[in-house]
Amino acid sequence: MIQSAAKIIFNTRVTGQAFHMGVSSSVLSRESKPGQFLTIRTGDTRDPLLRRPFSIHRVRKNQVEIFYEVVGKGSTLLSQKTR
Ligand SMILES: Cc1cc2nc3c(=O)[nH]c(=O)nc-3n(C[C@H](O)[C@H](O)[C@H](O)COP(=O)(O)OP(=O)(O)OC[C@H]3O[C@@H](n4cnc5c(N)ncnc54)[C@H](O)[C@@H]3O)c2cc1C
C-alpha cells in the first residue's frame, strides 16, 4: 500500500451527481493501474473517519483519474474540493 498526498487538477461535474476528478501525484501515477482503487480521505477533519475507496479510471503521465457519484457525506465533501 502506498500513501501519498495528491494535488487536485480538476473535479468536474459530468452530469447530475456524477463527477470526474483528476489528481496529480508522481508516486501514485507510477504505481497505479486501472482496476485498482484509491482510498481517499474526503474530509479535513475526523468526520468521516474512514477513507472512501474509488476505482481508478485512468492513469496519464503524472495524473490519476476517478469517476464518482455523490451519494453521502464522503462523496459530498469530495465534490466540494478544489485542491
Ligand atoms: C472497491 C470500491 C471501489 C469503489 N469505487 C467507486 C467509484 O469508482 N466511484 C464511486 O462513485 N464510488 C465508488 N465506490 C463507493 C465509494 O467508496 C463510497 O462508498 C461512496 O462514494 C459513498 O460514500 P459516501 O461517504 O458519500 O456515502 P455514505 O455516507 O457512506 O453513505 C450514504 C448512503 O448512501 C448509500 N450508498 C453508499 N454507496 C452507495 C452507492 N455507490 N450507490 C448508492 N448508494 C450508496 C449508503 O448505503 C448510505 O445509505 C467504491 C467502493 C468500493 C468498495
Question: Model confidence over 1-47: pLDDT tens digits?
Answer: 889 999 999 999 999 999 999 999 999 999 998 789 999 999 999 99
Strand 7-15 vs strand 58-60: parallel, antiparallel, or unpaired? unpaired
Which H helix or E strand runs over 73?
helix 73-79
The residues lining ligand 1, judged by C-beta closer than 6 Å to any ligand atom, are 37, 48, 52-55, 66-69, 71-75
Residue nearest to atom 44 of ligand 1 (CA): 71
Q: What is the pLDDT of residue 35?
A: 86
Q: What is the distance between the alpha carbons of residues 63 and 60, in angstroms, rounded to a whole number?
A: 5
All domains in the chain, ordered by first residue: 7-79 (2.40.30.10)
Q: Stretch 56-73: mean pLDDT, rounded? A: 96
Gyration radius of the chain's alpha carbons: 12
Q: Stretch 45-60: mean pLDDT, rounded? A: 95
Output the pTM of the full model.
0.91
Q: What is the pLDDT of residue 22?
A: 97
Distance 71 CA to ligand 1 centre (A): 7
Q: What is the pLDDT of residue 73?
A: 97
Residue showing cell 468526520: 47
Q: What is the DSSP letter of 48?
A: S
Strands (E), the chain: 7-15, 18-24, 37-40, 52-55, 58-60, 63-69
